[in-house]
Structure 1
Amino acid sequence: MTDELTLSVGGRQLSGWSTVRVTRGIEHCPSDFEISLTERYPGEADAFVVQPGDACTVLLGPDLVLTGAIDRVHYALAPYQHTVTVIGRSKCADLVDCSAEWPGMQIAGSDALGIAQKLAQPYAITVSAPGSKGEIVQLFNLMHGETAFEIIERVCRYGALLAYDQPDGSLILSQAAQVVAASGFTEGVNVQSASMATSMDQRYSVYLCFQQSLEVMNDVGEGGNLQAMATDEGVPRHRSRDIISESPTGGRDFAQKRATWEANRRIGRSQQLNLVTDSWRDQAGVLWTPNTLVPLSLPTLKCGDEDNKLVWLVTQVTYRRDADGTTAALTIMRPEAFLPIPILQLPTFNDIPANPGIGDPWGNEVRR
């Protein structure tokens, strides 16, 4: 299969680019590209004239990888050389760049999918959630100056979701995937270069999560000072970290989940594999894709071997072609690094039942 990059603009299919870079990732929204052409003979670049703001699509071989618009065009002139460089991003760039538009700046009674769809509607961007749509947000205040994507990321935390763009320019709300690629990476087979960064400075041996109630009118008993603990046996010396839970409700069980999440996420983030391979595709001919699990056998880097392969998550892919050839650079991490933070919403008055004999939310007698 010939993996030629094709830029489609205004009905024209432009290929033959000298250098190519396309980057996609679950923490890299929007996806972006930078491509350039150097004239081999006078007038060759004339057909590649495009304008900033032009809608475009980018294909690698037959596969669509980006739908968006051109941000910038650079023209360079030197003796015996004329270069055109085109830079662009996916449609979700408007969500990242632009301020949120929402009448009244207050959200009530909607889930993460519904909120994201309303925020994306002014920019003609579709939003999907193949699995969970997220919990219902009872009351959510927007702040002037926030971008649409900042708000979407915030509400996604309530539903334990990740938000990133798709090749068709849409936004997807998803959890870390369980899909395994047809092949992985094996030292001496399909790995040109690789580096493993491991760290201990952001890990702790003990995590103590404190849950502090916001109740000021009633006696909450033990609920006002709950504590839970999680440990990381991989830390060789005593290092303690105190955490104040973002949610003042949920009890000891929730505080325990919050402490365990902190430990697992820091373990996951303490190891990052950066790898370069000589193909944009796996053995089945599928492009390496973010949010896909891949088996790893890199014994020199202490990252799995043939008898005990590790299965980690592809978090970012950069497809590249230049004078050094065709490569794909991948960032790969442990799946635990992308477990969304557990959060409970504060109850609103509509959530508090009226219990005869107990009274209103402040403990006053209810007269009937």
Structure 2
Amino acid sequence: MTLERIVFSVNGAPLPHTSAALDQSAEETTRTAQFDIAWTGAGIPCAPDDEATITVSGALWGTGYVRDVRPGHDENSRTYSVSFVSRSCDATECSIDHPTGLKRDADLGDIAREFDVLGVGVEVKAKTIKKAVHKVRPGETLFETLETDARAQGVLIHDSPEGKLVLADKPEGRHAGALLRGVNIKRASGSLSGATSFSSVKVRGQASIGVSASALRAEAEARGTARRRRPLIVPFEGEATSERLKKRATWEAKRASGEGVTCQITVAGFRDQGGQLWKANWLVEVDDDWLGISQDMVIASLTLSQDGSGGTTAKLSLKDPRALGGDNPRGKSNSAWAAPGSTDADYREG
């Protein structure tokens, strides 16, 4: 296994560290990292909001800022814990200051670019529906103004190594090789819960114009994975159309089921069998008969860790690909790991 070299640079200068943990998620807008800094100079090694980058063996992993600096010492030694946050944090923490707060005839990507007033940057990998008018509520962040429509259209919002927002509606790649019990899996555990599993998800909404049944009493229903009757009714956010309601119901059923069904697998090293760094929202084949999994899974989140001795591990949190908008993996896993299928929701007028 090749020793990885993690470089944490602040204001263009590398800071030596004794341990590092890099966290990334397809379901979070901002990646973070934590470092124990080996500092022997005067004062503190850096300050909050200093510009920072992280590379792993030369490949850019994160672009952002120092978030927290925690110095400490006893009579003989001192410690400095420093955290990193992606530049996408400004999209989740700062209000939109826009001349009009209004955008017409725009899809989600258009809206993101229009209200990205801080220049975070946007990468659009999802096809979304246009809306006639989008208006920012006073005080909203960029993430908040996007999140409602993103949820309605089955779109994930995460960040890129450059710190830009990424809008995606399905897994973005596939890792080489597989995760195999007895071969490269060091540790594995699972969490299966019925708390977020429902037999059906109904989404009900109204249109702003008209008094017909389609305008006032529209509903879409998607099947879930619960084996007993457990209905969930969700009010639709925004202007209801048959297409929007059906997409929202299908996405909600998949996400709800996926929330309660995850497995965590720890492997040595930071890379797949093809040499690619592990990435959130990428597919990987998993074959672990003790967990009952034999199918493609999607990496929902991950942590890359390195200690002072140079030991490197990746802890991957995985879900059925359908839970993040992917296709049916058609494996041989126990049915308890499955998310709802990709069949379209049913639409009806009340």
TM range, smaller chain: 0.7 to 0.9
Task: Give the corresponding residue for 1:349.
Answer: none
Q: CA deviation at 1:258?
A: 4.5
Residue of 132, 135, 141 corresponding to 2:135: 141
Correspondence for 1:169 among 153, 163, 166: 163
Q: What amino acid is the match of 1:335?
A: P
Partner of 1:242: 233
Structure 2 residue 50 is the aligned partner of structure 1 residue 54: yes
Verify: 1:128 aligned to 2:126, yes or no: no
CA RMSD of aligned residues (A): 2.9
**What is the correspondence of 1:1-368 to structure 2 with a 5 Å cutoff?**
1-15=2-16, 17-38=17-38, 43=40, 45=41, 49-121=45-117, 123-130=118-125, 132=127, 134-157=128-151, 160-212=154-206, 218=211, 220=212, 224-232=216-224, 234-246=225-237, 249-251=240-242, 255=245, 257-304=247-294, 310-322=295-307, 325-339=311-325
Whichever structure has more strand as a proportion of its residues is 2
**Once the two structures are aligned, what percentage of the paired residues are identical?**
24
- Give the structure 2 partner of residue 353 of structure 1: none
Relative distance call for 1:135 and 1:223 in structure 2 (3 A) is closer
Query: Which deviates further from its counterpart, 203-212 or 184-193?
Result: 203-212
Letter in 2 for 1:127: V
- Give CA-to-partner distance per residue, 1:311-332, whole Å, 9 cap, x none: 1111111111236832111111
Letter in 1 for 2:31: S
For residues 229-279 of structure 1, give each alpha carbon's deviation from its aligned partner in whole angstroms, at most 9, with x where no partner exists.
4434x533333333444466434x765555444433333333111222121
- Opposite residue 231 of structure 1, the aligned amino acid is R
Counterpart amino acid of 2:260? S
- State the 1:112 CA deviation: 2.0
Q: Whose Rg is larger?
A: 1
1:29–1:244 distance in 2 versus 1, CA, 3 Å: closer
The offset of 1:284, in angstroms, is: 1.3
CA contact (8 A) 2:4 2:312 kept: no
CA distance in structure 1 between the aligned counterparts of 2:135 and 2:116, rounded to whole angstroms? 17
Measure, in 1, the Cα distance between the counterparts of 2:66 and 2:142. 21
Question: If the length of structure 2 is used for normalisation, what is the TM-score?
Answer: 0.82
Aligned residues: 326
Q: CA deviation at 1:60?
A: 1.4
In structure 1, stretches of 5+ residues that fail to align are 305-309, 343-368
Aligned to 2:339: none
- What TM-score results when the alignment is normalised by the length of structure 1? 0.78
Alpha-carbon contact 2:121-2:164 (below 8 Å) kept: yes
Task: State how far apart, in whole Å, the 2-side matches of 1:50 and 1:248 are.
Answer: 48
Contact conserved, 1:112 with 1:159, CA < 8 A, in 2? no
Which amino acid letter does the alignment assign opposite residue 33 of structure 1?
A: A
Gaps in structure 2 of 5+ consecutive residues: 327-343, 345-350
Q: Evaluate the alpha carbon distance shift between residue 10 and residue 161 of structure 1 in structure 2; reply closer, same or farther with a 3 A threshold.
A: same
| Distance in structure 1 (CA, Å) of the matches to 2:315 and 2:144 | 27
Q: State the alpha-carbon separation in 1 of the partners of residues 229 and 148 from structure 2.
A: 33
From the superposition, tell whether residues 256 and 322 of structure 1 become closer, same or farther in structure 2 (CA, over 3 Å): same
Q: CA 1:46 to 1:29, structure 2 compared with 1: closer, same or farther past 3 Å?
A: farther
Q: Kindly state the Cα deviation for residue 338 of structure 1 after the two structures are TM-superposed.
A: 2.2
SS of the residue 2:150 aligns to = helix
Aligned to 2:341: none
Amino acid at match of 1:13: P
**Aligned amino acid, residue 97 of structure 2:** E
Deviation per CA, 1:139-161: give whole Å up to 9, x if none. Answer: 12211121122113234346543
